[in-house]
């Protein structure tokens, strides 16, 4: 690895001295929060950023700072993408492939969290369909545009610890829905997708990793009621105060730092097929009190292959 960074590092600190002129990057969810900051930090170092957004007008207004701070050679182009509609996903992917311009980095940043039960346009449970299946189709359809030496970064979450994927009932047809259970499934899927994508493409010099950005106050938390917050952050029991590290919020620049660190700065071989947090590769842990770490099931290679096959069956495409 290069310089040492941590939980409090920002995008600008991580990318200090990095030159990205001539690089092309796709960032999904570039109209708010982490997506805007990720696009800004990359464009400010000269990268040409393609921001995929659901609402082009909102995206244009939200990314004014990206254009203002773009370095020479860098800039931002917006494309329309609704991850909850496979027709939109396929149209976006087809347009990118038709354009033919290669990518050096894809940051799959967009997503939803802890929303009430619902279904995507195609009938998938909203969180699994949006966070995983939408990105699964998009990225696989544009995989031919990835140059040797390029990377895929999937935004996962420490929320993967809420639940493993359920390959028998991914849409909650027969199991009881819970907001964070569904979120956990989708975030575990994000990690497993990176594991299998990395396995399939690393011989071509393309690596993939998943990242946990930290806990940040952004639009992602629009569904967070006090009751839901209490589910994931209950008051500590006696003795836990000393055992568990103190919780701290991150700023948006701190939250986006691990994405750009993993995609640009870290050694590709070190992060490939791994889960990263706080600008380092996370260790596997089953400790319920640990703030950091990744569950073993999220990195399980057999589970990753099984999820890939299930995802292909669900979307009706083979990659």
Which tokens belong to 220?
């992602």
297 is catalytic: no
Cα 116 to chain center, whole Å? Answer: 21
Find where tokens 């990835």 sit: 146
Please list, in sequence order, all residues whose beta carbon lies within 8 angstroms of the beta carbon of residue 159, skipping any fewer than 6 positions away: 113, 180, 183, 184, 187, 232
Token readout for 148 is 């040797």
Q: Provide CB contacts within 8 A for 9, sequence distance 6+.
A: 254, 257, 261, 278, 279
10 Å Cβ neighbour count for 316? Answer: 9
Q: Cβ(43)–Cβ(78) under 8 Å?
A: no
Sheet containing 48-53: which strands, arranged edge to edge? 75-80, 48-53, 24-28, 103-108, 146-155, 207-212, 275-277, 280-281
177, 183, 275, 297: the catalytic one is 183
C-alpha 29/C-alpha 39 separation (Å) is 10
Q: Find the DSSP H helices in the chain.
A: 11-14, 33-43, 56-62, 64-69, 86-99, 126-127, 135-141, 179-201, 226-232, 240-243, 252-260, 268-271, 301-315
3-state secondary structure (DSSP) of residue 174: coil
Mention every residue, 6+ apart, whose C-beta is less than 8 A from residue 309.
Answer: none
CA distances from residue 226 to 9, 184, 222 in whole angstroms, order as listed: 29, 19, 12
- Residues belonging to the active site: 183
């Amino acid at each position: 690895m290069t310089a040492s960074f941590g939980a409090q590092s920002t995008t600008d600190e991580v990318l200090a001295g990095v030159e990205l002129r001539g690089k092309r990057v796709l960032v999904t969810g570039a109209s708010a929060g982490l997506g805007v900051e990720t696009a800004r930090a990359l464009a400010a170092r000269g990268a040409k950023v393609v921001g995929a957004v659901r609402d082009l007008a909102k995206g244009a207004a939200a990314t004014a700072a990206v254009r203002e701070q773009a370095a020479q050679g860098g800039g931002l182009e917006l494309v329309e993408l609704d991850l909850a509609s496979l027709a939109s996903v396929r149209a976006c992917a087809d347009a990118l492939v038709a354009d033919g311009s290669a990518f050096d980095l894809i940051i799959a940043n967009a997503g939803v969290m802890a929303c009430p039960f619902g279904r995507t346009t195609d009938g998938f449970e909203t969180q699994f369909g949006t966070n995983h299946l939408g990105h699964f189709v998009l990225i696989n359809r544009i995989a031919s545009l990835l140059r040797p030496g390029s990377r895929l970064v999937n935004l996962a979450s420490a929320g993967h610890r809420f639940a493993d994927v359920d390959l028998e009932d991914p849409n909650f047809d027969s199991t009881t829905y819970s907001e964070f259970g569904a979120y956990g499934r989708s975030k575990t899927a994000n990690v497993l997708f990176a594991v299998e994508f990395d396995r399939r493409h690393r011989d071509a010099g393309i690596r993939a990793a998943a990242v946990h950005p930290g806990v940040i106050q952004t639009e992602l938390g629009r569904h967070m009621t006090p009751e839901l917050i209490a589910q994931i952050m209950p008051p500590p029991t006696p003795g836990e105060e000393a055992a568990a590290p103190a919780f701290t919020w991150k700023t948006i620049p701190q939250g986006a730092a691990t994405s750009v660190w993993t995609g640009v700065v870290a050694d590709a071989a070190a992060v490939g097929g791994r889960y990263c947090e706080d600008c380092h590769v996370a260790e596997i842990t089953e400790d319920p009190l640990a703030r950091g770490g990744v569950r073993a099931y999220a990195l399980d290679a057999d589970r990753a292959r099984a999820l890939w096959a299930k995802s292909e069956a669900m979307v009706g495409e083979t990659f």
